[in-house]
């Protein structure tokens, strides 16, 4: 039988801390939250591996949870405080939503796969994240009903500028995503009064989220 507590500590010590993740609140949250509970029972043994583990059952595209190191670095770069209102786009089974709930004032987890959304609602409730809620809708459209947000997190890659999501940021708000593939660049965008600025922070790879695929270009 797997010792999940030991596996969780090894994940934090060997994957997260070694990647220059130093935020004590984030480290504490990752040590406390049982990541294995956000996976189908038959895949729980994969929960602490340094890979993007698939969590969807059937259907296309296959949905995965971001590897712990990439998720932790994105969250740390987004500079989430206790007063932040956060949108978690592509929350899948709800792990990052529950994690963010320990760092922010309120979190909305958005998922368009109805089966995953039901799982997320159950797991987030089981994690006693009372300041988090799960909603269902197209990922690329965001969730305007709870906007504006201090932080928006994309749990996957995007090949296009997420324009609709940018409009749902507060002035001064940040959007954290992985831009491009093979590998792409983890990127932080920030909204100002008049513009959106972006900066690449580290190399990263992740599956492209539904709705964020670049349209095919016509060749003449």
- Domain presence at residue 11: no
| Mean pLDDT value of segment 51-67 | 85
pLDDT-derived band at 220 (thresholds 50, 70, 90) equals low
Q: Is residue 5 part of a domain?
A: no
Average pLDDT over every residue of 104-126: 96
Cα(97)–Cα(56) distance, integer angstroms: 17
The CATH number of the domain holding residue 138 is 3.40.50.150
Query: Residue 219: what pLDDT?
Result: 56
- Residue in 172, 177, 198 with CA at minimum distance from that of residue 81: 172
Distance, CA of 220 to CA of 214 (rounded, Å): 18
> What pLDDT score was predicted for residue 60?
65
Helix axes 4-11, 24-32, angle to 10 degrees: 160
Is residue 220, in this structure, part of any structural domain at all?
no
Q: Is residue 215 part of a domain?
A: no
pLDDT at 48 over 80: yes
Instruction: Kindly give, in sequence order, each residue whose CB lies less than 8 Å from that of residue 154, ignoring residues fewer than 6 positions away.
Output: 89, 90, 162, 165, 175, 176, 177, 178, 209, 212
Output the pLDDT for position 218.
Answer: 56
CA distance 77 to 23: 10
Residue 167 lies in a domain: yes
Neighbours of 165 (CB within 10 A): 26
Q: HEC profile for the chain?
A: CCCHHHHHHHHHHHHHHHHCCCCHHHHHHHHHCCHHHHCCHHHHHHCCCCCCEECCCCCCCCCEECCHHHHHHHHHHCCCCCCCEEEEECCCCCHHHHHHHCCCCEEEEEECCHHHHHHHHHHHHHCCCCCEEEEECCHHHCCHHHCCEEEEEEEEEECCCCHHHHCCEEEEEEEEEEECCCCEEEEEEEECCCCEEEEEEEEECCCECCCCCCCCCCCC
Residue 180 has pLDDT above 80, yes or no: yes
Instruction: Report the pLDDT value the prediction gives residue 57, as an integer from 0 to 100.
Output: 73
Mean pLDDT of 8-31: 97
Residue 153 lies in a domain: yes
pLDDT computed for residue 110 by the predictor: 98
On whether residue 112 sits in a domain, the answer given is yes
Residue 73 pLDDT level (bands cut at 50, 70, 90): very high
Range of 192's domain? 52-204
What is the number of domains present in the chain? 1
Sign of CA dihedral 88, 94, 95, 97: positive
**Lowest-confidence region among 30-44, 55-69, 144-158, 201-215:** 55-69
Average pLDDT over residues 157-172: 95
**Is 46 part of any domain?**
no
| 217 has pLDDT over 80 | no
Q: Considering only 14-23, 60-69, 111-120, 171-180, which range has the smallest mean pLDDT?
A: 60-69
């Amino acid at each position: 039988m797997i010792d999940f507590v030991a596996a969780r500590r090894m994940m934090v010590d060997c994957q997260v801390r070694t990647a220059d993740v130093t935020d004590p609140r984030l480290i504490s949250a990752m040590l406390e939250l049982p990541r294995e509970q956000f996976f189908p029972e038959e895949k729980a043994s994969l929960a602490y591996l340094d890979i993007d583990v698939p969590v969807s059952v059937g259907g296309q595209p296959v949905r995965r949870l971001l590897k712990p190191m990439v998720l932790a670095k994105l969250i740390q770069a987004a500079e989430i405080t206790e007063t932040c209102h956060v949108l978690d786009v592509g929350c899948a089974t709800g792990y990052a939503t529950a994690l963010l709930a320990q760092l922010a004032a309120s979190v909305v987890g958005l998922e368009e796969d109805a089966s995953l959304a039901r799982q997320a609602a159950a797991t987030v409730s089981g994690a006693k994240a009372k300041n988090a809620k799960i909603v269902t809708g197209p990922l690329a459209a965001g969730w305007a009903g709870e906007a504006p947000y201090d932080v928006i997190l994309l749990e996957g890659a995007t090949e296009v500028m997420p324009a609709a999501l940018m409009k749902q940021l507060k002035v001064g708000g940040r959007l954290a995503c992985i831009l491009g593939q093979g590998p792409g660049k983890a990127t932080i965008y920030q909204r100002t009064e008049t513009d959106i600025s972006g900066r690449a922070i580290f190399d990263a790879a992740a599956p492209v989220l539904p709705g964020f695929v670049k349209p095919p270009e016509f060749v003449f």
